[in-house]
Structure 1
Amino acid sequence: MSVHYRQGPENRFPAASEDVASVYAALLEQYPAENIGIEGCSAGGILAAQAMLWFQKHNLPRPGAIGVFCTGFDFLRGGDSKVIATIFNGVSSSTPVLPQIAYFEGADMNDPLATPAVSPDALAKFPPTLFLTGTRDMMMNDCIASHVKLLKAGAESHLYITEGWGHGTVWNAPGVTEATDALNVIWNFFDFHLGN
């Protein structure tokens, strides 16, 4: 199912986390947590990670697995992919993403609920996590750094990188071999980690 969560610029953090938690709580009435997987791409991938912190704070059981695609959750660091990828994506690295900036307006980005990477204790409680990115994705460094932080925290984390991908290419190139391969990786990951 797809969650129609509140976004910026009309809404502010943590509205989207609240929406995911509401849907998740409703699903828990019908399914055990270990049978539920959560995934998202780009802003949705960030939200999947933020939801784990929200669930922890509100004593919701962790899902069976999550997917964080085309992004990471270590916003307080830089990385050369944000500069290099602009050559291939035709977007200035200084171009603000206004809805996301507005969404986090007034939020403390050192709060783990906003930036999960700042809390190793919270990361240690993450379910098995799959990261997916491409070598031309502006968020590749953030994705890799987040994967490493999960590993350092002792959580199970997997990283899949495809040569030549840009941001969100897996969803924009259906039928292309690399996209099909990536979708199979996603399927197999959730099939392995979720309950029956």
Structure 2
Amino acid sequence: MPINKAVLAAFKAASRIKPDIRKSYEAQRVAEDVIGKLTLPDPRCRIDEATATMADGFEVPLRVFTPLDIDFSLGSGLKVTEDSRGTILFFHGGGWVNGSVDFYIDACTTTALKLERRVVSVDYRRAPEHRFPQAPEDCYEVARQLHAGTLLADADAHNIVLFGDSAGGNLAAAVSLMARDRGEFMPRTQMLLYPATYNDHNPATSWFDSVRENGEDYLLTSQDIVGYMELYRSSPDDLHNPYFAPLLEPDLSAQPRTLVITAEYCPLRDEGEAFAGRLDLEGSDVACYRVLDAVHGYLLYPSVFRFVKDTYRIIKHFLDGEELAEGDEQAWLGILGTD
């Protein structure tokens, strides 16, 4: 599906004037903080603050988004009750360097309301101040406490879903691998939105065509990804660690039921789909969709955008078995396990 020419021209212009992320990440954080503070609350969703204590004593901030059922009648007046089918543990994107729970308030509110689930957003420690493996260790410990019932007493471990976009998708996949390897708990379900799963994003050497096809003109560039990984890693050896790049894991068996969603014009598209294919080949229950005409990072776009609405339709189909409307297949491409 060809992208709109005017939109493509704007993407190209924006992509080519972007500064090196290794030098500009602090300025980007400032801009994201300003945007986060301008977010208006939605009365249909209650937002609470919480923390989770890490092994080193650090308190990881959490933000909890609870969807509300608001009913008003003349007889009984206003009645507000929680309306939740389960809990989504959300790991935000931003290249392990940018992004924050503040920047993702709108996205998490929309997720809570659209999916009728409580969302727990994790403000894990970011690079380069806290390099790999700090972020996955923070996310793992929050997930462990949530599954154990010590973080939120009413959280049902059977109805916890790990969800992350971009670097957050990488962290969700890493947490699932860590959980299997350590044996303390095991997530039942994970959802990875345009995840980073591999370690090589040099167009000259990458295995994946999407790095070359989509690596210059669609906002997130291959150079950005290389820069983010340089800021994230503690040493070159980290590039070969499966918790850093889950597609490198030689054994991807015994993983949660998984939904992978990629974007057509994303440089990470092919590695996300390859990760889904590996999970499928090694015995996991996997569904994978490619959202057409979409670029990396679109979860942060207003929910009126077609590809955002399509993504929530796909997720509700995956989580709750809701049917995909006839004709909607034109808006996405089913890669595998999408019956």
Shorter-chain TM-score: what band?
A: 0.7 to 0.9
Alignment partner, residue 138 of structure 2: 19
C-alpha offsets along residues 146-178 of structure 1, whole Å, 9 cap, x if unaligned?
111111111111111111111022431421223
Change beyond 3 A, Cα 1:92–1:63 = closer
C-alpha offsets along residues 101-144 of structure 1, whole Å, 9 cap, x if unaligned?
222122433332222223343x2111011111111011111111
Alignment partner, residue 159 of structure 1: 288
Query: SS state of the match for residue 190, structure 2?
Result: strand
Larger CA Rg, structure 1 vs 2: 2
| Mapped partners of 1:96, 1:146: distance in 2 | 18
Q: Which structure's residues are more often helix, by fraction?
A: 1
Query: SS state of the match for residue 126, structure 1?
Result: coil
2:204 pairs with 1:80: no
Change beyond 3 A, Cα 1:86–1:67 = same
Alignment partner, residue 50 of structure 1: 174
Q: CA RMSD in A?
A: 2.1
Query: SS state of the match for residue 242, structure 2?
Result: coil
How far is 1:99 from its partner?
A: 4.1
2:125 pairs with 1:6: yes
How far is 1:86 from its partner?
A: 3.3
Change beyond 3 A, Cα 1:128–1:5 = same
Looking at both structures, which has the greater relative contact order when contacts are Cα pairs under 8 Å and sequence separation is at least 6? 1
Query: SS state of the match for residue 165, structure 1?
Result: strand
Following TM superposition, where does structure 1 have runs of at least 4 consecutive aligned residues deviating by more than 4 angstroms? none
- Any residues of structure 2 matched to 1:39-118 within 5 Å, and which? 39-76=163-200, 77-90=206-219, 92-95=221-224, 97-106=226-235, 107-118=237-248
Change beyond 3 A, Cα 1:90–1:128 = closer
Alignment partner, residue 253 of structure 2: 124
**Residues 71 and 143, structure 1, Cα contact 8 Å, conserved in 2:** yes
Change beyond 3 A, Cα 1:136–1:185 = same
| Mapped partners of 2:289, 2:273: distance in 1 | 10
| Mapped partners of 2:121, 2:224: distance in 1 | 28
| Mapped partners of 1:79, 1:162: distance in 2 | 18
Counterpart code for 1:61:
F
TM-score of the superposed pair, with normalisation by structure 1: 0.86
**Residues 82 and 93, structure 1, Cα contact 8 Å, conserved in 2:** yes
Counterpart code for 2:308:
A
**Residues 37 and 190, structure 1, Cα contact 8 Å, conserved in 2:** no
Query: SS state of the match for residue 122, structure 2?
Result: coil
Q: Which structure's residues are more often strand, by fraction?
A: 2
Change beyond 3 A, Cα 1:56–1:164 = same
Quick check: 76-85 or 148-157, which moved more? 76-85
| Mapped partners of 1:114, 1:156: distance in 2 | 23
Change beyond 3 A, Cα 1:185–1:97 = same
Counterpart code for 1:43:
A
Q: Among the aligned pairs, what percent are the same residue?
A: 27
Alignment partner, residue 168 of structure 1: 297
TM-score of the superposed pair, with normalisation by structure 2: 0.52
Q: How many residues align?
A: 191
